[in-house]
Structure 1
Amino acid sequence: MKEQSALDQFDLRSRLRFNSDTGRIWLDEHRMVLMHTRAVGALRKELFDQVGEQKAQAMLWRAAFEGGKLDAEMALKMIDDAENYDVFQIGPSIHGLEGMVQSEIVQNDIDWEKGVFRGRVHFRNSWEAESHTQLFGEDYKRACWTITGYASGYVSRFLQSYVIFKETQCACNGHEYCVMEGLPADEWGDDPVVASLTGLADTDSDRFELEQELCGLRKTVFNGGVKRAPISTGNLVGESQGFMRAFDLLAKAAPSPITVMLLGETGVGKEVFARWLHEHSPRKDKPFIAVNCGAIPVELIESELFGVRKGAYTGADQSRPGRFERADGGTLFLDEVGDLPPAAQVKLLRAIQTGEVERLGDDQVRKVDVRIVSATNSNLKTAMQKGEFRQDLYYRLSTYPVEIPPLRERGNDITILAEAMIGKFSGPYGKEVTGLTDRAIRALKAHDWPGNVRELENTIERGILLAESGNAIEADHLFPSGLPVGSEGARLQSDGMLKKQNPLASTTPDWKSMIEDGFVLETLENQMVETAVAMSSGNISEAARLLGLTRRQLDYKLKNMEREKAEITQEGS
């Protein structure tokens, strides 16, 4: 199949979008850049000058290998829309769309089940061969390291098997076109060119170990000339200024017995902060007891906190200790402390002041040694003014307040947290997710996160469930009901011109009015299908993409619509 046919068959141009308003170019789920080849060529030459020819070639090859893998993941999403080889041809087409090269597979032997590729590719107009010739002249046997790296990454990811391409003829050596051959990695044997691209020499390994050691030394914190290892954040993940301010306060409080109050919106992770405080305190080997004061019925809150004596009330069949006694020697975390009823507030104040508790219905005083960490998302000062929260208790609890910032104010922490959550959930779901696409990261950062870290956790868990194992999580996996971003800009047409996206395309219909006016759901669906086909000028792949369907699903729908029309016509006659 020719490249033009692949571009049209899968409407690949529609996946390339330009948004000058935000300064972004997108190819499907990934952000791209449009750069001068002279500028990239200058960087390429700098690599050759600084690290040497062999290392520069390997670096270029490996970087392009990653790009090929990303494009293969995009192609694999269309595997249900056409024959295997047609989908496979997306790679050369996309490589051309990216302005890298014009490729033609002239010989191939592919075993789809075993993941084996053996073949030869002719390619013309290689940007790399042209750039190399301009800078170094026509004295190199081969120069297209990024082209062969891309092909290796694409085919390896597509077939799930390690395939390596090697250039055997290059235009920078005076030939009309370049040639590369692809084989399974183990069939290249001891080929020195392949070995230099895919393996690290001993000197490189030594250098890598040295760089790792130096990196570790650079991360060591020096304070007043005394070397101090940085404190581990453990389950607390982040690096934003707001997060680090809260964490630094927490770290300073950890070794002391001071009473801490954690402030912040619902879902910011106050209990995680409280657990870190306990685990890094002298009480770490003693119990950590958490209680949500707002989740316990008012009539039971006192017995839950302070315990109950057998027979104290109907249903109290046995004596049992409360949370204070269970936390003896350790930490008691009182979440949503602002929801405590007045009677419980009085007893809590006494327990904090005296270190003594009395079980409900009992007059025996029990000594407890408990560190109190409280948390609230309500304004306790306002509650005090209204008489809903005791002033003396507030000052006892808020000796050391720590404000945890909402997720929307934590910048790049969103991405860091998301990656940590992917690691957490991938195992239980039995999936090896490779991370987040650029578009998914942008969508995460564009969302307001009213539910904070808890909402992000739910979103990532849903994304892992919907993502294919071995692939990255896409934006639509995270927000299946609609992305929290605006227009993605202009689309590339078949004539190479950019077409601005129709602003009406993202307008939300007035569903309420439609329901009140009465409509047939099937009729609405058929109208949407017909509109999408018209908008895409009859291109079924593009229409399917607009509707969020696969090509096969849309084909099935169109056949049903044709059959229904034929039946209506037959009945009318």
Structure 2
Amino acid sequence: MSPTRSAFELHAHAERDEFIARHLRMAPDEGEIRLFDQRMLLMHGYSLAALRRELIERLGLEKTRELFTRLGYQQGVEDSHHLRAQVGGDVAQAMALGPRLREIEGFVRNRAVEQMQFDTESGQFRGDYYWQSSWEAETHLREFGVSGTPACWMMVGYACGYTTAMMGRPVIWREIECVAMGHERCRVIGQPIEECDANDEALRFLQVEDFISAPRHRAVVAGADLGPASDSGLPDLVGASAGFNAVAYRLKRVAPTDATVLFMGESGVGKERFSKALHAIGPRASQPFVSVNCAAIPQELVEAELFGVEKGAFTGANAARPGRFERANGGTLFLDEISSLPMHAQGKLLRVLQEGEVERVGDTQVRKVDVRIVAAANRDLREAVKAGEFREDLFFRLNVFPILIPPLRERREDIPLLVNVFMQRYAQRFGKGIAGVTRRATEALQAYDWSGNVRELENMIERGVILADEGASLDVQHLFSGGEVLPDLAPATVMPRLPQADEAPRQASDAAPIDTAQQQLDALLAEAGSLDGIETLMMQHALRQTGGNASAAARLLGLGRGQFEYRRKKRGV
């Protein structure tokens, strides 16, 4: 028999429904539905079922499964961020609201086999649920008959994304029973990735392409250095955000060609790692990959480094040596920070790209080279052209296939996956056991601005592993000890605590006094005059609190940067 709902559970659900309803805005005259300020769509289930069926027919079952699971994962991450902000960072309340939210959205009916257990300080997690009335399972059964594998793909992805974002470390849910397989009901179990059985299939949805690394779920020998690359020789590329996946898609498209690729993005986003992946999955993979940081070469030596030098060409040139182009012949040459090249070197580089031949410094012999060029810039090259600091003709030669890598602050859903990779790497390198990441550290990592992007995150985790005690969790003092400005983690709005399913409703005598809060609300409304006025005051206050930093102000209010800017423009703040 399935678990039944007690009076306490019904009361808890009523409280949660009321809470969710207060954050649901339906504005048909504006053509919008918003839930926790996210744009929502009320769409026909049969149309999504038709799309699912067509994708299975075109892409196959496994690819469609990965696609829908990844879609659910991204939805879960977004819901977790918005809900957590609304309940003032109270993880317990947000955890309780997540399953109910998915019920209200019409996907499934959740029944806990046992109460969800989690500890955000130690990273321990255990979830065991029955899913009844699963739209996905019923749709799959109707369209394809009895399946050999579970079919609740979006729901599994949603559960993974939601709990991963809440816990700050990868949590994997696996469907062990499914109505689509002929079972009476669906059943799922959730665990931290380290406790899961070695099951690569459960992680496939996080690999948008084959060259993307799945989060590690098995420990390696203590003290082993994982290094920057995975077992396949590819660099670690881990992510699940839409921005990360868009880069992976473009990378796969251009990899089989010889087209010049220009990676753009802030310093530390991983341009060299992506360039190595591009080389590794392309037709030149067996040939050399040569990297050069143009900013690190003295201006007077740039030509010698790139094109080579003959003996006696200048003082100190005691022997002839090939340049980077010759060493990369047949393979790939990665030109990092290419905007740092002096103008005279830019002209000679352009000639090499056009003619496919180099001339060493101090030599008259022309040497043919066959090199794929991959360049990277951490500044806008178009602006550099306008400023007269970069040749326009060279820019057009390089800008054949541009790929913009988003900064880490615009793909925060990747942070738990990256933290997992870096934490395991350095724990194994230093031979130290690390339990996980504390709740406060997780919140700080999510709120931090990440001016140094992925490189800064990796350095921070390495430092934290060194400072943390054996068997302890990484905490704020371990991570933010290098002069970083710790973000203000005070919640913008602390909502009343909602009752848990196993708690009795509090009596009126148990309630905290509300006179002070009521008076504050009355004063606020008197000053603002309307809900729009209150929103304007909150935005102005948030900007004052953060010194005009729009990104920090958005986080303080529990909004995304785009949402904040939209409201800011609308209110004229």
Give me the TM-score of the superposition, normalised by structure 1. 0.50
Larger Rg: 1
Give me the TM-score of the superposition, normalised by structure 2. 0.50
